[in-house]
Structures are given as structure tokens and as C-alpha cells.
Amino acid sequence: MPLAKTWQLIAGSAVAGLALSAVAVAAAGPWDSGQRKAERDRAASWGRTGGVDHAAGGLPQAAPSAPGVLPGLAPRTANAASTGGALAGALGPLLADPALGTARGASVVDIATGQVLYESGAGEAMTPASTLKIATASAALAALGPEHRIRTTVAPGAGPGEIVLVGGGDPSLTAKKKSPAGSGGSLVALAADTAQALKAAGTDTVTLGYDDSLYTGAVLHPNPVGRIGNIAPVTALTADEGRPDDSTSGYVERTDDPSKDTARAFAGLLRDRGIKVGGEPGRVKAPAGTQPLATTLSTPLAGLVERMLTNSDNDIAEALARQTALAAGRPASFEGGGQAVSEKLASLGVDLTGSRFADGSGLSHDDKVSTRLLTGLLVKAADPRHPELRPVLTGLPVAGFTGTLRSRNAGASPAAGLVRAKTGTLTGANSLAGTVVGPSGRLLAFAFLTAKAPDKLPAEKGLDKLAAAVATTS
């Protein structure tokens, strides 16, 4: 890495740490979710079944937070007016760039104080594309908490020798021995535990059914763009996101029937472990109230949120919207998820004027949010009173380094290593929302939404210039 970029990243990280300490509780820590995964996995591995991603009984407990390293800084309130004026002078001409399209909204907020430093069309609800995932993540974390894990189980069937693979909607579920995406629910471990339980009961031949009835409604995304490799059919039982290869993000053609394919993979894993499985797995309803033979657990919700935001993972986003619906007692569907997300965000006290949540991923042009809502959620995620929302910040891609920002504001850009933001791109809709530490040491939340841009790449460059201007002006 060139010396200049190394210095910039180190300096940016140091300033970011100082600024964040002003708005985070020392005991919770804004970087808990981003830095505790090894501790959490180690603690989970002490379960009596011996696996980090599968266990019987209660859920693993979170590792305790480390004590604060730096004392909190007093909120910076001086020179807010001059900062706002400087931002207006810097952002105004950039927002007027025709490459951004015919409509645009902008919001910049001081996270420590909640003070609005710049707004332009901030109350107008527009199509957010994938920046909607900030809203989905916030709602899911508020509803379920960062340590929540999603269960996939094997239950006894209705008759002798029958077992049922029951989907809980885990988007991290994998059929691979070692998942390329990292920790998550494991069909391999689930098959091993199931085979062990069956053999202990004197059973070596079974009929396998699968139950994916937890989710309801349409399985195909209503936007055709969501059916051509951007997302798998949304079911409660999907391994490896329905991907036929070892990819973990991005475009790839998906299986047409994730539930059946997952059950077939599980049958093969049982056979590998000495259990005879007769015939093809069929869709059945698992008997109510039965004790599972075996269970595997998803990545904790905090990790799912971080993975979703970093890679703009549509499959995880739709799963989290449905998990939010289930927590609210609503149908786990596109419609139920949208209603539950809206209700949960309202409970956080953010401005939902004009908002509509047609899905959880932002693939729908019918989604509508304002830049004021997006910055409001980012401020909530840094609020010491809402430590459960912190993964919304820690999961944001880093400009020039990670995820969907790896190649944006990279190299010699003054925003490289300093801007953390969620990207959004649909035909005619481009967006960027995240955080940055400015020269004054303030941690700022920003959001930019644009509509009807003539071309995607110039629009993205225009958004990157806006983010860089916030990084260098404030």
C-alpha cells in the first residue's frame, strides 16, 4: 500500500475512533459487532454439541464487551453555522451536476449533537435502491437484537421413520463443508447431529420431508431485475443463497427451487453418514410441538447485518425483513415485511414521511424514503441509547477498501478510508448514505438520493464527489 494511503487510513481510523467515542457507550462500544466475532464464536463453541453453528438447548451468550479505551469527548457544537455554510458552498454546485439526474435529495447531520448541517430536498421521499438496506437492518436489529440467531431444525415426522427438515429462514445456511461466506448455519453439522440421533434411536433408514411454510406469499421478487441473478426465490429453506458456485455476493443465476435443492443436499449428507434416505424429499408440514432431533444456528443477526451492508446482499435483506415480520406477528412475506419494518422504524422516532417499504432489499422502484430518514437512522445507530443498532455503522463499506465501495473514492481520493457508506443503484435511481469524519473531528451522517440519471457511472462519480466534499469540508 502506498505510504500516503497508509497514512490516510491510519489517521482516518484514529480520528474516527475519537469521534465515535463521543457518542457510544463504553460498555457497548460502537465496534463491538465488528470486533467480537472471534470471541463470540469461541463462546458458542463451548456448547455441548461442540459446534459454533449448531447446538441444542439455549442460544450461545455474547462475549462481554471490552472496557472503553478512550474517554468520551465532549460533543462539538462550536462553528456549526460556519460548517453548514461551508457545506452549502461545497455541495450546492456538486448537486447541480446534470449527471445526477432530474431530482436529488441531500442531508448532512452532526451525529454527536443531531444538528442538521445541510439539507436540500431532504424531506422528499424517493426511490433509495439498496440504501434501503439501512432501514431493513435498523428494523431487524431493533426487533430482534444483535445476538439473535435463526434456527434450522430436523424434526420427527408424522409417522415412523419420517423426519422433516424445517427451515427458519437462515440466509447464512450452507451445504458446504466450509462456507466461503464465513460462519452460519451448517447443513453438514446438522446432518452429522441428525445421523447421530437417529443411530442412537436404532434408526438407519428414513423418509425425508421438508417444511418451508414459515414464509408466505410470493417467492419471486416483483421487480424482474430481481429474478435474473440478483436474488434467489425467497423461501424459508435456502442453502448458499441458491448459488450454484462458490460465490458469496454479486450477480449469478440462482436455483429455481431453493427449498427442494436444500433438502436434496441434506439427504445426500445423511447418506454420507450411513443413513439410508428413501425417494425424493417432499414438501410436508412438520408436526407441531415436537422436540427437534438436531438444530443448527445462523450467524448472529449483527453479523448478518454487517455482511448484508458490506456486500449489498439482497438475499439477506429479504430474510431480515421477514424475520422482522415474524417478530411482529405479521405474515413473513414482501407485504408483511414492509409493514413490520415501517412499524418498527416508527417506534424509533425517525421521520417516516412519504416512506414506503415494498421489499427489504431495495430492488423495488416502489420503495420510497427520504434522505432525512436515512441520516436519522444513522444517528440512531450511533446513539448510546441504542447500542443494538451499532452493526448498521460497523457494516458499512469503507471507501476504496471494502465491499461495494472497494473501487469508489479509492486511490488518492481524500475520502479513501474515511467514508463508510451504503451504495444504491437501480435503473434511474442512484444513492449513497453513510458516515464520515471531517477535518474538524466531527462524525457526520450523510445521505444523497438522485433520480432519473442518464447514465449510472457518471451518477456514481457525482455521488462520490459529494461524499468526498463532506469529508474535506466539515
Positions annotated as catalytic residues are: 130, 133, 312
Task: Please report which helix (H) or strand (E) contains residue 150, including its range.
Answer: none
Amino acid 405 reads L
Listed in sequence order, the DSSP H helices in 370-424 are: 371-382, 391-394
Specify whether the CB–CB gap between 145 and 300 falls below 8 A. no
Specify whether the CB–CB gap between 22 and 164 falls below 8 A. no
Specify whether the CB–CB gap between 225 and 173 falls below 8 A. no
Among 355, 349, 433, 351, residue whose Cα is nearest residue 385: 349
Sheet hosting strand 276-283, strand order edge to edge: 276-283, 205-211, 162-166, 151-156, 294-297
Specify whether the CB–CB gap between 473 and 86 falls below 8 A. yes
Counted residue by residue, the chain has a size of: 474
Among 285, 245, 289, 282, residue whose Cα is nearest residue 264: 282
Specify whether the CB–CB gap between 452 and 102 falls below 8 A. yes
Task: Please report which helix (H) or strand (E) contains residue 411, including its range.
Answer: none
Among 385, 351, 445, residue whose Cα is nearest residue 115: 445
Per-residue b or e along 195-228, where b marks 16 or more CB atoms closer than 10 Å to that residue's CB: bebbeeeebeebbbbbbbbbbbeebebebeebee
Among 408, 412, 390, residue whose Cα is nearest residue 398: 408
